[in-house]
Structure 1
Amino acid sequence: MAQTRRIDPTIFDRLPLKRDPQSVRARVEAIERVMERAVVIPGINRPVGLDVMLGLVPVAGSFVGAVAGAYMLWEARNVGMSKLSMARMAGNVGVDWALGLIPGIGIVPDFFFRSNTRNLRLIRRHLDKHHPGTVTVER
């Protein structure tokens, strides 16, 4: 019989729930990692995330991916990104959503067109320029 496990109540202490730019950066990077690079496909060493896996679910998967992209857009608004940059981000999410709606081959564009990665790059560029204290060294 399976043993029930309780959620560690201290897990919520580690989540960056503040509205400061450093917390926003951490949340957006976590979303991008889950949506685009959660696991590596053996053999081809290509990272895929929840976005590709959700593409296997017709229509609904594309909407869930768009919701994650919309959350990144909302976070971009919270750190004061320009309307032009936010329009580019919305375009990335819209293209990913529309291509994901194609039945049967909707996961192929998700595999190659990584809208969340593109949007993370735009957010990082903004944070590096306007909030230099949030810059992190990548390994």
Structure 2
Amino acid sequence: MTTEHNNGVKTYSPDGQIVNKPDPIEVDEDFAAPKALLKAQSLANTLDTAVKIPFIGLRVGLDSLVGLIPGIGDTIMLLASIRIIYLGHKLGVPSDLRTIMIRNSLIDYGLGFVPLLGDIVDIFFKANLRNVRIMEKWWVSQNKDKIDALTQQRIKAWEGEQKQA
């Protein structure tokens, strides 16, 4: 029989004794996403969703706007996308995921060379946000135990506050 416990799985013998007990995870209250990930998120938001188009509700960013300049606009935005990939490298994202991020950026870059249709598709493809999602999912998978432990600490603190109120 197994039951889920706050930071792992406890396994019980038939007589109810714990067979293996997960080690408690120590996590600092200041544990947070690394600066490289936060910078990548900010840059991706600026590039892909900075401005809301009135009446339509679509969000576009510098990538869609600067990309309207034939050739040079898309090249400038590719350089900005490479910055996000570099931040992923700095964060430690594995090379296979960085390859996917490069592919996303090159697709976005290639679409920019298709007149009008490329600009329309670029509004919806949002390669930079895709790349940041890859980084976020990888980082969370690497830090899941710490995130769970911190969440449990904060829930216990909140419950204590609620009892006092």
Question: Shared fold by TM > 0.5?
Answer: yes
The whole-number CA distance in structure 2 between the counterparts of 1:56 and 1:108 is: 10
Of 89, 106, 109, 1:77 maps to 89
Aligned-partner residue type, residue 85 of structure 2: L
1:113 partnered with 2:98: no
Q: 1:28 to 1:134 in 2, by over 3 A?
A: farther
The whole-number CA distance in structure 2 between the counterparts of 1:134 and 1:63 is: 38
Q: Contact 1:92/1:119 (CA < 8 Å) preserved in 2?
A: yes
Question: Identity of paired residues, percent?
Answer: 25
1:41 partnered with 2:53: yes
TM-score (norm 2): 0.65
The whole-number CA distance in structure 2 between the counterparts of 1:106 and 1:94 is: 13
Which deviates more from structure 2 when the two are superposed, residues 36-45 or residues 122-131?
A: 122-131
How big is the shift at 1:134? 7.9
The answer for the alignment partner of 1:13 in structure 2 is: none
1:11-48, Cα deviation, whole Å (9 max, x unpaired): xxxxxxxxx96111110011011001111001111111
Aligned-partner residue type, residue 57 of structure 2: N
The answer for the alignment partner of 1:97 in structure 2 is: 109
Aligned-partner residue type, residue 131 of structure 2: N
Of 60, 65, 68, 1:56 maps to 68
The whole-number CA distance in structure 2 between the counterparts of 1:126 and 1:29 is: 14
Q: Contact 2:40/2:87 (CA < 8 Å) preserved in 1?
A: yes
The whole-number CA distance in structure 1 between the counterparts of 2:118 and 2:73 is: 10
TM-score (norm 1): 0.77
How big is the shift at 1:131? 3.8
Structure showing the higher strand proportion among its residues:
2
Q: Contact 2:37/2:88 (CA < 8 Å) preserved in 1?
A: no
Aligned-partner residue type, residue 104 of structure 2: N
The alignment yields a C-alpha RMSD, in angstroms, of 2.1
SS at match of 1:106: helix
Q: Contact 2:37/2:91 (CA < 8 Å) preserved in 1?
A: no
Q: Contact 2:75/2:109 (CA < 8 Å) preserved in 1?
A: yes
Q: Any stretches of 5+ residues in structure 1 without a counterpart?
A: 1-19
For these two proteins, the number of residue pairs brought into alignment is: 117
The whole-number CA distance in structure 2 between the counterparts of 1:114 and 1:134 is: 28
Q: Any stretches of 5+ residues in structure 2 without a counterpart?
A: 1-31, 149-165
